[in-house]
Amino acid sequence: MTARILFFVLEDLRRRFGAALPPGADPRRDTAPFRAFRAALLERVAAAASGRAELSMWWEGTYNGYALAIAAEPATALAALDPSPVCPVDAEKLAPPRADRYPLALVEPGRAVVARDADGATYEAPFGAATGHFGAPGMRRFP
């Protein structure tokens, strides 16, 4: 199935949501900034949804850094979504989502809830340290 895939640059996510990190917390492990991003995004998604959709996510690396990819399936259910007030979108495409994606949310008009895997776990993406951190920040599983 074709998905609408949005790419949010890691540095933009850090700038917008890094203040949600509790004092003294390790940004490589703490997911408070991600939870703040997810809450803001899901609010916009619920308001824009014209039908049911599943959101998934993964990290994509480029020469210049990393981007959090958010895929909406089917793409038509979120055709009206403008996520730029939450965080700037670096790129967008229509394509099948990656096979190794992580569940993010289940969406319907006026409602979005955090998705769980077959074992009931959720996934969150730490945004990592702003400097001295090489490699994708990864995903954390929460049972």
Give the CB-side neighbour count of residue 16, counting CA atoms within 13 A: 19
Cα separation, 55 vs 41, in Å, equals 11
Does the residue 50 lie in any domain?
yes
Does the residue 139 lie in any domain?
no
User: Looking at the 3D structure of the chain, how many domains does it have?
Assistant: 1
Model confidence over 1-16: pLDDT tens digits? 899 999 999 999 999 9
pTM for this entry = 0.94
The tokens describing 13, both together, are 């996510």
User: Is the pLDDT at 138 greater than 80, yes or no?
Assistant: yes
Model confidence over 81-128: pLDDT tens digits? 999 999 999 999 999 999 999 999 999 999 999 999 999 999 999 998
Residue 61 has a pLDDT of 84
Does the residue 131 lie in any domain?
no
Residue 12 in 3-state DSSP?
helix
Closest to 46 (Cα-Cα) out of 104, 124, 113, 116: 113
**What residue numbers bound the domain in which 50 lies?**
3-121
Cα separation, 24 vs 48, in Å, equals 36
Does the residue 56 lie in any domain?
yes
Task: Give residue 64's pLDDT band: very low, low, confident or very high (50, 70, 90).
Answer: confident
Does the residue 84 lie in any domain?
yes
**Average pLDDT over the chain, rounded to an integer:** 93
With 0-12 CB in 10 A as exposed, 13-18 as middle and 19+ as buried, what is 134?
A: exposed
